């Protein structure tokens, strides 16, 4: 496996690590998303402990408004984080 393929698989594995409910292993609740953001993205997303920030992120991602975030729905967040990291690397 290439380095990029390994990193992509790692992103999928992290998503699954936080989607732990029985029968819903491929979606995140607001609480699961909050845990993932607080533990995995604390240096990129500011105010991760602020519930209003988490609520806004969840609302923006939950495009079908079913109260869960699928892997497809989390992709815009991942793209945004990649763009932020890319920008930061050019500032260093």
Q: How many domains does the chain have?
A: 1
The encoded tokens of residue 7 equal 């990193």
Q: How far apart are CA 92 and CA 89, in angstroms?
A: 5
Domain that residue 48 falls in: 3-91
Provide the whole-model pTM. 0.89
Q: Which residues of 15-43 are buried (b: 16+ CB within 10 A; e: fewer)?
A: beebbeeeeeeebbbbebbbbbbeebeee
Q: How far apart are CA 58 and CA 35, in angstroms?
A: 12
> What is the per-residue pLDDT across 10-65, written as a single tens digit (0 to 9) for each?
999 999 999 987 677 799 999 999 999 999 999 888 888 889 999 999 999 999 99
Q: What is the CATH number of the domain that holds 21?
A: 1.10.238.10
């Amino acid at each position: 496996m290439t380095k990029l393929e390994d990193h992509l698989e790692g992103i999928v594995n992290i998503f699954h690590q936080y989607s732990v409910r029985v029968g819903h292993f491929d979606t995140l609740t607001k609480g699961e998303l909050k845990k993932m953001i607080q533990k995995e993205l604390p240096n990129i997303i500011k105010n991760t402990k602020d519930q209003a920030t988490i609520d806004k992120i969840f609302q923006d991602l939950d495009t079908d408004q079913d109260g869960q975030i699928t892997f497809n729905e989390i992709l815009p967040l991942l793209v945004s984080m990649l763009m932020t990291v890319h920008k930061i690397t050019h500032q260093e």
